[in-house]
Structure 1
Amino acid sequence: MKSLLHITNGDSFTSRLQSLPLKGDIITWREMLCEGKTLSNVGSESFWKTRFEFLNKNYKISKSWFVEKTLKEYRSLCNHKQQDKIVLWFEYDLFCQINMLAVLSWLKTHRRHAEISLVCSGKVEGSDELHGLGELSDDQLMELYESRIELTQDDIEYADYVWQLYCSDNPIRLENLLDFDDDFQFDYLPDAIRAHLKRFPAIKNGLNALENKVLDTAHNGKFSTRRELLGGVLQQNDMYGYGDTQYDRIITSLRPLFSSFNPVKLTKKGKEVLQAQTNFYAQLRNNDAYLGGALKYSFLYNTANDRILKL
């Protein structure tokens, strides 16, 4: 009988998994590697130092919280050396897919002989929308588990390669990869990478896809408070998988384009930026902002042909 380890995408799903009739230990991957600078050597001292600096500066995560929540769980993963079957539980969105790549890169180095399989939620029969793991019934989760994807060595090498590209200083390499090969078993990765590339500022107005979404929602909805605006943004399904703290940070960065949050109103300039009559790139530019290994404001996204340009 082979021993089993589950690695999940977050705390809420870990609690859910504990209620299912499945054997094995559970480790929670507590990171959001889709935001901030990443280094390719997952788990190294420099990797965790870089992550802590980003989370501390942008989300006020304290050292004690980071050690208690993220590093302790990571050390627990390091100590689980006996399990020869590892099941990854991740979702279709960018948030999850980037974390999944990092975990696979780590497993490639540190658990070379383990059998690794993937449970990935997204498409559900009879629905046009993609679904997260938490939205599925126990029966649906068990069905997904039974039909989980056994990853080959080639799949794992490929995931590691995409992770290395994500951590490189040039996103054009990722763009060139988008003629994704059907030989690999990551159904949702191409769309997640496309979504990632749209996070670079658009040529037309200097805002990326997420920033444009926030402005568009504010302009077209009727919101009495900032909190309501946040709720309106979160209600729209997208490929990003961002949570309220991430969108709240985006709203803060766009504050100069709002005349009021009670009720929510854009300034004249805010409306002009949204309509691509004015460019807001210079005001947003931040030389410390990274997406993976690339500086966010060293590249532009051309929405006309979906290509990345280097400045």
Structure 2
Amino acid sequence: MSSFLHITNGDITTGILKNLNIKGEIITWREMLCEGKTTADVGSEDFWKTRFDFFSNVYQVTKKTFIDFTLKEYRNLCKQNQDEIILWFDYDLFCQINMLAVVSWLKKYRKGSKITIVHAGASGNHIGHLSKEELANLYLNRTQLSQDDIEYADYIWQLYCSDSPLRLETVHKFNPSSPFIYLSDAINAHLKRFPSIENGLNKIENNIIQAAHKADLKSENELVSKLLKEQQVYGFGDIQYKNKIKELRNLFSSLNPVKLSEDGIQLLNNQINYYRELRSDFSYLGGAKKYSYLYMNANDKLLKLTS
């Protein structure tokens, strides 16, 4: 009989699969590779050192937490060698980038394995929101990845981890037969995370000040809840939005209730540019420095800045 390994996008999905009594081992991929610097060599010592440095510096994650939460589960993955590997990842940027990394790792360390993907939830419909019947049906109709599919995912991952995002602008659009049906939208969302030429804020940062201005919000938690509902293409959690709000603290005169400062109002109307205030050489999106590129809203293109 065939043996199965399920790799999930998080603990919620892992819990759901256990309740479904689906056969096979389950590994939870506990990472958020859509944030912070990444290197292409998934699972290497350099890869994990780079990731720990990010989590430690930005989210004050201790080494023990990182080992217990992420590395132990990864080491468990390394011990698995089943006949079929099934990927359970949502449509959003958070999940799609993690998925690319997992496929890249499988290409290198599980060469020749049968890899299938569950298209679990169209835009706006996460795995955790689906009924048992819907999930069982999606599982039965999972798609097997061809070698070309695996090579393609690995190539997109290599580009994501490169020091330039420019190739991503075009290459992700020209594979209409790809089974990665949510990847194009996720990469588009990724490219809009580079600072806008209009005011120096990226798409997410502009979304934050727009949401803060439009609604009568009594607290930071209300602002975060609004962002979680409205910005689902990113798949961010509350901890990520709170970190973003902290970075933009000078754009708020108050967070209880939520009110923009004078700078926040001017940025909202593109009357000033905040690029210089936010610029950091230590801020990365994948392998690229966030502030080495500008997003040109008029033509949806990236512009490389010369140093």
TM-score (structure 1 length as normaliser): 0.96
Native 8 Å contact 1:273 1:280 kept in 2 = yes
Distance across 2 between alignment mates of 1:264 and 1:68 = 36
Match of 1:175 among 160, 169, 184: 169
Q: Is it true that 1:239 corresponds to 2:242 in the alignment?
A: no
CA distance in 2 between partners of 1:9 and 1:156 (Å)? 18
4+ residue runs over 4 A deviation? none
The equivalent residue for 1:24 is: 24
Give the secondary structure class of the aligned counterpart of 2:2: coil
Give 1:139 shift. Answer: 0.3
2:61 is matched by which residue type in structure 1? I
Deviation at 1:151, TM superposition (A): 0.5
Q: Structure 2 unaligned runs (5+)?
A: none
Taking the aligned partners of 2:272 and 2:4, their CA distance within structure 1 comes to 55
3-state SS in 2 of match to 1:259: strand
Equivalent position amino acid for 1:42 in 2: V
Pick one of 276, 281, 287 that aligns with 2:281: 287
Alignment of 1:1-311 (within 5 A): 1-81=1-81, 83-123=82-122, 130-311=124-305
Q: State the AA in 2 paired with 1:43.
A: G
What do the CA deviations read for 1:34-90 (whole angstroms, capped 9, x no partner)? Answer: 000000000000000000000011011110011111111000000012x01000000
Count residues in correspondence: 305
Alpha-carbon distance in 1 for matches of 2:232, 2:256: 26
Shift of 1:10: 0.3
Deviation, structure 1 residue 237: 4.0
**Contact 1:180–1:190 (CA under 8 A) maintained in structure 2:** no
Question: Given residue 295 of structure 1, which amino acid in structure 2 is its aligned partner?
Answer: K
Give the superposed CA RMSD: 0.9
Identity fraction in percent = 56
Shift of 1:263: 1.3
Unaligned runs of 5+ in 1: 124-128
Amino acid at match of 1:18: K
3-state SS of the aligned residue for 1:5?
A: strand
* Counterpart residue type for residue 248 of structure 1: K
Residues 156 and 172 of structure 2 are in contact (CA less than 8 Å); yes or no, is this contact kept in structure 1? no
SS in structure 1 of the partner of residue 20 of structure 2: coil
Q: Is the 8 A contact 1:8 1:26 kept in 2?
A: yes
